Structure 1
């Protein structure tokens, strides 16, 4: 894909459509940005492609009629999924309130799992500076792990 189709208010597009085709942020049309994906997620994505195939426009996810999936559809499905996956107290909390929150959750998980900041930044499409400005606060209880790694390195 060399374009994006963000959903915007129809009054802000030239065509009056809810989705307007735009160039990719900070990239030229012919630029390629490989996104590393863990094998487990690759298998899920490959299965989805085999089962549903891409849309006529090449998008991996499409509406029942082959169009762009509206944000309202994502939101409705997400709200139902939260009710199934979370406790009642979590459902009423801000935890993963929007589908976009999953991006923050994934980046935080990767950092807390010990994935290097440059690798996480590449996967998330950030610079390392932006990554650390936004996500440094999510690193919990890392002092013990850091001490063990330093001890291991010194002992080697």
Structure 2
């Protein structure tokens, strides 16, 4: 019986009646292909400034009957604390230090990403998991400004928390689906933005609030090590991903060098 006989990674042989006959190099090895590089870096066109971010957040509570109000604090966490959507969805009351005055502190320890029920341990669309790029039980601390402290305190006073302490959920106690909060976000963009802005990539996704937060911190001069810790990145990944969003650093660097030379 004729058959193919593999002789190694580069050569194959045909067997005719049990007698192998060597052939040329495998044709697949003559193909040269380099996987395309992924962009990785954040597109600066998606990053809102603080005034635009405030306008978007102010528009959210007016969307829908109660959905926008219930999601307002979740979106605020993405902007003021740079939480990923799944991290904001997993935020619990016991993770929040919310003083009556001054800055607060969030302990980010769980995420609730959305997935098909077949791929979650609980059989639900949202499964509680550890943080992205972190060890299973590792947490991170994020200091949050008074404006977010106030938003979260008001949210808890109005809606309470779920039995497990989660802050953000539907009126029936279920996690918000990505399609639900994305729909609210698109409506808020149409309210807060001009038609031209709404048609642009500017804050096209809720995730872009996180990008805006990290970009703001870097441009404000917060050390990259501190920004990376708060955002849950390594420093090298942080600077690579947000390199195009850092503005005015050349003039600032020149001034520091000049000061050092004149000492």
TM value normalised by structure 1: 0.84
Match of 1:58 among 142, 151, 165: 165
Q: CA–CA distance in 2 between the matches of 1:76 and 1:150?
A: 48
Larger deviation: 142-151 or 58-67?
Answer: 142-151
Q: Is the 8 A contact 1:62 1:68 kept in 2?
A: yes
Matches within 5 A, 1:72-151: 72-151=179-258
Q: CA–CA distance in 1 between the matches of 2:260 and 2:166?
A: 46
More strand by share: 2
Q: Is the 8 A contact 2:112 2:129 kept in 1?
A: yes
Q: CA–CA distance in 2 between the matches of 1:3 and 1:142?
A: 34
Report how many residues are paired: 155
Q: Is the 8 A contact 1:55 1:67 kept in 2?
A: no
TM value normalised by structure 2: 0.53
Q: CA deviation at 1:108?
A: 0.9
Q: CA–CA distance in 2 between the matches of 1:96 and 1:56?
A: 33
Q: Is the 8 A contact 2:111 2:131 kept in 1?
A: yes
Larger radius of gyration: 2
Q: Indicate the RMSD between aligned Cα atoms, in angstroms.
A: 2.2
Inter-CA distance 68–140: structure 2 relative to 1 (3 Å threshold): same
Q: Which runs of 5+ in 2 are unaligned?
A: 1-91, 93-108
Q: CA–CA distance in 1 between the matches of 2:158 and 2:258?
A: 49
Match of 1:34 among 141, 156, 163: 141
Q: Which runs of 5+ in 1 are unaligned?
A: none
Inter-CA distance 85–155: structure 2 relative to 1 (3 Å threshold): farther
User: What do the CA deviations read for 1:42-68 (whole angstroms, capped 9, x no partner)?
Assistant: 222222223322212211111111121
* Larger RCO of the pair (alpha carbons < 8 Å, separation 6+): 2
SS at match of 1:22: coil
Q: CA deviation at 1:93?
A: 0.9
